[in-house]
Chain A
């Protein structure tokens, strides 16, 4: 009886990972974040796209490795494109912790669960970002969300509610896209690096369809925001 129970238990993933994986993955993730952020800035998209690498590392290596990627991303990008990005490192770190811990707790075993994690990340990142926006930058940093903030202010909302409302919408689109793009990247990583991670399981084309559907939902939210704004 006991031996059958032991046999039924899935093999526990080795918690230690080779240092070479970390050395290879962390700089690439930082570069991915910076490139994503720059593309977003140049194209003036209603997203951020600077947390895809953070999500990949937080899920694959662990939440605190993701936090390292998040902090490094904002440090490096603040040297490249100005000091505004540095205070938002806290948002990147919070996102990494939520992605990393929730996947380790098994919340992301299904596609719906994984989508919920992305929404949770969007909520907590916005919660972290709003005080930074309001108390440091006075509610505006030159991002697409500022126009929405102005619209909410014009409707008679106060500054904190307006900044949170605009930021949560942008963040929702961004984190859903980032989460599912990260899932696609994780699928492409070597199997020995991703074995044992509790991510949605699906055979064949099903997984591609789910990932594509997740990205489409995120893009649709972004497009709706752009349409409303115009």
Chain B
């Protein structure tokens, strides 16, 4: 098993892909540009989470192909893909401390023995504003704090593709905006390809350069957020309620 060298700003390319999950199907034949933040919006059940799952390696492709940074992802287990995924829930192991959970971003051993590892964990937690919660258990944290811990872990993982599945849904506007800005900052700093699934169009407007609509079982080609919202197609208008 050799370490795959990734790069930065990797494109995510779906080639005639069909992903089946839980009784319905999502079609994807589009390119999500590298080095940018792309928001995925659309009605519930359209398949946004399924697309993320496919990229991360949890949902196999029934047909077609998936390339990340030009490399075919077929057959690669999730741990070996250049992807970090922040789930909707169960982002943290309830029985491990925040520090241990975060340390999993460095290695598959939650016990961070080396000082170097501990420093990195502390730094990541500090970045998301959880420096004082390192030894707390996830059960003691609020929803927002848990999302931030997941973010800290993603930071440590340092994978070129960053997937977020409605990670800040439970947060109030102030905190959510702060977290989104942090995501944007990290994304820009490391030239990550970030996909953000969200139900808040404002989130897309705030940080996403591109937005892709997922509706009617299909991933539409991404467009620049501004362009999409100023001239929304029918499906998007329906979704936005305009």
Decide whether A and B are members of one complex. Answer: no
